[in-house]
Structure 1
Amino acid sequence: MNSKLLGTARFYALLCAGGMLFGSKAFSTEVSSPVIVATSAELTQGTLANSQPDAPLSSYSVAGTRYWLGSQWNYSGKIIQSLMQGDAEHPFGSVLWTKSTCNLDPATTYCVNGPNAAFTKLNPVDVRSLWFVGLYQPQPNDGGLLAIIHEENAGAAHRNRIGLAWSSDNGNTWNYLGRIISPYGDPDGVNIQGAPYLIKDGFLYVYYTDVGDETLPPGSNGLSVARANLNDVLSAARSGGIGTNLWHKYYGGSFSEPGLGGRATLLGPYGITHTQAVHSQYTGKYYVLLSVMAWGGANSFVKLYESTDAISWTPSATLADEAAASLRPNGGYQYCSIVDPGGVANGEANDIFNVYCAKDPLSSDSPHVALYRWRVNLSDRPEYYRQSVNYSSQQGPRWWYQTGRNSTIYDMSFENGFWQGTDRWSAIYTDSMHPAENEIPVLKWVAPRAGTVRIEGTVRDADVGCGNGVSTSIVHNGSSIFAADIDNGDTVGKSIDVVRQVAAGDGVFFMVAARGTDYYCDSTRWDPSIEYQ
């Protein structure tokens, strides 16, 4: 461990110093800092070797056991399907099976019926590539599952579809029933993305990306929705089909256009729709995730939107928003799922739900991929603190911005929009920190009262261009409770997720130290959250 970071006994004694008491501000949507719940090694274990996540995970439970169905991109160029078993904090606890998507006819390159694949039966005869993007479980233990499917390269062209599949054996084998949605005009090469779903008023709402109608400029696209009566969909699926004219797109104020090729209203929020959605039984609102990777120099973000009618969406919370320059090339967040950790299924949750996203799902950089988990709390009950949410130009009372030098801690000064130490390289920003050669930034949180707190966060590199990495630590009452070295280019990082007992006035200290004399490129993203349990 870096000696600068650990410091002397006197320095640790200073870290035991208390702070001021303060109250908690209520937030309508509170989001914990992300933690890693599946490492690169877990995402590529065993039969998942040489692959990366390529779709949001879909979770369901049978007889009290939680399963996760996922689609991966194999580096050979094929899509594979996998079933995992694990709890809400360990989605990749064990891999039960990995299968090819289907049996391919080498003459036509289309899928054909046959055993030993995920899809053993297919109604359309011109299928090549399928991804699981959502699951609906009509009954908890009868074996039936309805899957929402993203399809590419349908037929002889590069056309995308949203389809449905049915399993009668708890997800071990699947029948691809057929296609329900395609973009307006069915253009070649348009990525339909998708497909978050919600249940509203007895209808199954499926969200995807459409091009709108003939009045929009070329290249337009955005979030759209189609729906069908849920009971009709399930009845048709159990009978081995998709029904007739069940699906209609929302257009011009009503669900009036056919799901396949009809016109669509673009609903407004921008982002990639390879995500999921949920209805909160606590707030009565609907929530959908959208994300963007750092393609073309754009920020990579994960944003949550809310709605009262599942049509008009407004921002609810930002889970991540990171500049492309702080990420690996074309890195960022993708394939985001929503799961109620308490077991509520089918696009429903209570006041708390988990969000899972793949971080840096890049085929050339598989050691840097991971699955992040955020916890979204919609209630007004928790006492919650997060560095980026509470960041202020004033010291205290909940967060203190300090710097350590020669075994002494000083308060920083706020200049030019961020906190600076006596050496201006030692700095604390909204969601990151930067050390100096012989000075370390110290972010201190002071407990307002006694109780049990959960400390969460993931520390990672925020300047991939140069540098030799940093050493990080968390100290509570003079004892180190976390220590990790972060190499340059490690944009996935290392996580803390611990529960601690605190007394009123206790300090929890987050620190970042340079390695040796190379500190110029040591910007480190660290945005911890602390929540009373």
Structure 2
Amino acid sequence: MPITMDASFATMKENDNTLHYYHGPFLQHFKGPADNPLQTYVTPGGNLIDENGHDAAWATYHIWIMNFYEIGPGELIGFTHNESWPASQPTGLPYFSLGVAYSNNNGATWEYCGEILKPKNVRLNVGGVPYVISGNDFYLYYNDGIYGENDGMGYPRHVSVAKANIQDVITAARNHQNATWTKYVNGSWSGNAMTGLGSAIIDNTYIKEDTHSDAVYNTAINKYLMTIQTHDSSRLNLYSSSDGVTWSMEANVDAMSPGSVMQPYSTFADYVGGTSDGREVDGEFSIIYPRKNWNNYNEDNLFQRQVTITTNQADKYSASGGFSQTQGTNQWSYEQWNGTVYSNMTWDSGNVRWNGAQSNVLVGGGWQHPDTNDSVRTWTAPKAGVVNVAGIAKKGDNSGGGDGVNVKILKNGSQIWPVSGWQAIGSNDFNGYAHNLTVSVVQNDKLRFIVNKGGSFSFDTTFWDPTIAYDTYSASSGYSTTTQGANQWHYKQWNGTTYSDMTWDAANSRWKGAQTYVLIGNNWQHPDTNDSARAWMAPKAGKIRITGIAKKEAGSSNGDGVNLRIMKNGTQVWPSSGWKSLAYNDFTGISHDIAITVAADDYIYFVVNKKSNITADGTVWDPLIRYTGL
């Protein structure tokens, strides 16, 4: 690093090859390509912010612009992290707040509009400043808590959110003023942004979750993403949300030995897609962040994690992502068990959760709480198939009070996890127990995730956000660039005697065989002297269903068409014999729907043959394979 990193980068896109990165209270300016983002140190920055008298009552007032919103050409909103020291205490721990700045010359100079938000204890580092847009509002994420860092009790603190109307913020900023912001408190936007305590919206798995990070909207999956660092737990985590309020953890972006490094100040970067101000990304983006040695804050090494999102949402069901105020929506229902029967809970709109017969039997987006009745989240299978049931059940109350909980999973009336009895989770077990099950279901089978209070229901909040995914393999969504066998797909050619691997053609983003035109792309194939053969390898034994439509590429107006067939190892499964002929101008195509059994490591080949010539033989074929039983 050419500097000591002390804030997340604010980014602006120049073109598909260059992003500008702005850093720190004096807006140090870098720019560069994806493989070297800080290639050019444009300027060391300077005092570009007119504080408009907001610093008058303070001995020192520092402002970090840590995120941009582009109103229009040359006109920007900047979200700021502020630290100030009064004359009575010119050194030591500052007072923390978030604010807004405004520029009408594309960031060359800024007008500070003042503070918009403070943590409940103003000596607690407020973080900042991830934001997203939800409807007509800005959602701004920050750290809140009742303990100040100077009293030795800075933790636990938690991640909270506040909002304000976008147009109100813009109108006020143009006059160097601020709109009114409100904190999210107990299910409603009712908290005073300057004095109130916001509710926790992300579980404190590692106790020290922190918003010196970034947030975006991802257009590939239509969800919000946010990075959160964990201080001395030495993890940088990626969270997702459908509504900007209920969040679930998706992955560790970076995980080191606890206490070895910090990974703060992460930034989303999307060179080719997304918006110029960085508030949206698509399915290909990067997360840029430093590792700071725990014993030396000034030692920075910059890392970049590339992320590629492969979507197959039709057959995936997340408890938090599918959470709804309507029973049965997204296949999820919310029940209670009294020891004899299951019954539906009722929706509590004020607290955005489901309530049972007693006051503490509850189900939220990614959590449950039992009372005398057990808390039950239920998924109903929309069709037959094999599903993967994955998740972690862990305590959610940071106090470590109570006597813990018991959990289990049932399929209809039969227990599938643990093998028998209950899985006990201790009162201070914030790591919990993971499950990763393969389950065969038929339509209307029910999987129930049950939380039982054990001895008492005190402090029994339990984080449990299971994901259920049908065992499904799509050629296009599983398509791999550079790696044979990724997502079970291989890219081969057939010379009449043997199958052999193609090689990756990086220049054209496709797989290429021995001749010029034997090719495979994400959802298409082209034969040459050799046949083009996309192959799927079965990861396990079971019953599968193979569906799809093969058709000529739009615009094809000559040639003699192609031949098609599907093979299981050396045995033909479609058509029953010979080839299925596809005419040169058949843009509707030929469909297939085949049910067969496979053993682990069996190959299914989708073969395209040239007939007599290779003219205009591009063929769209995006088969889908789904396990229907074991």
TM-score normalised per structure 2: 0.45
Are the aligned partners of 1:362 and 1:369 in contact in 2 as well (CA < 8 Å)?
Answer: no
1:247 has 2:214 as partner:
no
Is 1:278 matched up with 2:186? no
Contact 1:61 1:343 in 2 (8 A): no
Task: Point out where structure 1 has 5 or more consecutive residues left out of the alignment.
Answer: 1-42, 45-50, 73-78, 101-116, 382-444, 455-502, 506-533
Q: Deviation per CA, 1:101-131, whole angstroms, max 9, x where unpaired?
A: xxxxxxxxxxxxxxxx221343412352121
- Residues 6-155 of structure 1 aligned to structure 2 (within 5 Å): 43-44=1-2, 51-62=3-14, 66-72=18-24, 80-100=26-46, 117-125=47-55, 126=58, 128-139=61-72, 142-153=73-84, 155=86
Shift of 1:324: 3.3
Q: CA RMSD in A?
A: 3.1
Equivalent in the alignment of 1:350: 282
Q: 2:133 aligns with which of 190, 195, 199?
A: 199
Instruction: State the shift of 1:278 in Å.
Output: 1.0
SS of the residue corresponding to residue 23 of structure 2 reads strand
Q: Check conservation: 1:154, 1:161, Cα contact below 8 A.
A: no
What corresponds to 2:269 in structure 1?
A: 339
Residue of structure 2 in register with 1:519 after alignment? none
Cα shift at 1:241: 1.6
CA distance in 1, matches of 2:203, 2:225: 12
Distance change in 2, residues 1:351/1:324 (3 Å): same
Q: Is the 8 A contact 2:17 2:271 kept in 1?
A: no
1-side partners of 2:223 and 2:247: how far apart? 10
- Where in structure 2 are the equivalents of 1:281-360 lying within 5 Å? 281-293=219-231, 295=232, 299-324=233-258, 327=260, 331-345=261-275, 346-360=278-292
Matched, 1:377 2:308: yes
Q: Secondary structure of the residue that 1:96 maps to in structure 2?
A: strand
Determine which of 235, 243, 246 is the counterpart of 2:171.
235
Secondary structure of 2:265 counterpart: strand
Q: Deviations over 1:219-274 (max 9, x none)?
A: 4410000000011111111222213xx20000011111121112311113331210
Q: Per the alignment, do residues 263 and 360 of structure 1 end up closer, same or farther by CA in structure 2, a change over 3 Å counting? A: closer
SS at match of 2:167: helix
CA contact (8 A) 1:154 1:160 kept: no
Residues 350, 161 of structure 1: CA spacing in aligned structure 2 closer, same or farther, 3 A cutoff?
A: same
Cα distance change of structure 1 residues 177 and 357 upon mapping to structure 2, 3 Å threshold:
same
CA-CA distance at 1:453 after TM superposition: 8.3
Q: Which consecutive unaligned segments of at least 5 residues does structure 2 have?
A: 148-152, 313-482, 492-501, 507-532, 536-630
State how far apart, in whole Å, the 2-side matches of 1:365 and 1:248 are: 34
Q: Which amino acid aligns with 2:200?
A: L
C-alpha deviation, 1:65, in angstroms: 7.7
1:62 shift after superposition: 4.8
- Deviation digits for residues 277-327 of structure 1, max 9, x if unmatched? 11112211111110123x3xxx311111111111111111111111137x4
Write the distance in 2 (CA, Å) between the matches of 1:343 and 1:363.
38
Sort the Cα spacing of 1:161 and 1:248 in 2 relative to 1 into closer, same or farther, 3 A: same
Q: Which residue in the other structure is 2:393 paired with?
A: none
Task: Flag the 1:317–1:121 CA change in 2: closer, same or farther, 3 A.
Answer: same
Identify if the C-alpha distance between structure 1 residues 154 and 199 changes in structure 2 by more than 3 Å, giving closer, same or farther. farther
For residues 380 and 374 of structure 1, what CA distance do their matches in structure 2 show? 19
State the match for 1:452 in structure 2: 504
Residue 343 of structure 2 is matched in structure 1 by: none
Q: CA separation in 1, counterparts of 2:32 and 2:154?
A: 45
How far did 1:369 drift? 2.6
Q: 1:211 aligns with which of 142, 145, 150?
A: 145
Judged with a 3 Å threshold, the aligned counterparts in structure 2 of structure 1 residues 234 and 202 are, in CA distance, closer, same or farther, namely same
1:276 deviates by: 0.5
Offset from partner CA, 1:341-361 (integer Å, 9 cap, x none): 224224212222211101226
C-alpha distance in 2 between matches for 1:363 and 1:87 = 31
SS of equivalent to 2:266: strand
AA paired with 1:266?
A
Name the SS for the 1:334 alignment partner.
Answer: coil
SS in 2 for 1:335: coil
Choose between structure 1 and 2: higher helix proportion: 1
Change (3 A) 1:87 1:138: farther
The percent of aligned pairs where both chains have the same amino acid is 23
Q: Give the partner amino acid of 2:269.
A: V
Whole-angstrom distance in 2 between the partners of 1:160 and 1:265:
18
After superposition, the C-alpha distances for 1:19-65 in whole angstroms (9 at most, x for unaligned) are xxxxxxxxxxxxxxxxxxxxxxxx31xxxxxx401111111135778
Q: Output aligned runs, 1:430-509, within 5 Å.
A: 448-449=490-491, 450-452=502-504
Contact 2:18 2:271 in 1 (8 A): no
Which residue identity is paired with 1:68? H
Distance between the aligned counterparts of 2:534 and 2:18, measured in 1? 39
**By how many angstroms is 1:87 displaced?**
2.7
| Gap change, CA 1:264 and 1:453, over 3 Å in 2 | farther
Q: What residue is the counterpart of 1:402 in the other structure?
A: none
Correspondence for 1:167 among 93, 97, 103: 103
The aligned length equals 307
Equivalent residue in structure 2 for 1:182, among 118, 132, 145: 118
Comparing 58-67 with 142-151, greater Cα deviation is found at 58-67
For residues 505 and 6 of structure 2, the distance between their equivalents in structure 1, rounded to whole angstroms, comes to 35
The equivalent residue for 2:524 is none
Gap change, CA 1:324 and 1:173, over 3 Å in 2: same
Structure 1, residues 186-211: CA drift from partner, whole Å, max 9, x if none? x3521111211000011000000001
Distance 1:344 1:446, change over 3 A: closer
Query: Cα distance 1:86–1:201, how it changes in 2: closer, same or farther (>3 A)?
Result: same
Secondary structure of the structure 2 residue equivalent to 1:262: coil
Question: Aligned equivalents of 1:446 and 1:280: distance in 2?
Answer: 28
C-alpha deviation, 1:337, in angstroms: 0.6
Q: In the alignment, is the contact (CA less than 8 A) between 1:352 and 1:376 conserved in 2?
A: yes
Q: Helix, strand or coil for the counterpart of 1:209?
A: strand
Structure 1 365/177 Cα, relative in aligned 2: closer, same or farther at 3 Å? closer
Q: Does structure 2 conserve the Cα–Cα contact (< 8 Å) formed by 1:69 and 1:132?
A: no
CA apart distance, 1:333: 1.4
Question: 1: CA distance between counterparts of 2:146 and 2:202?
Answer: 11
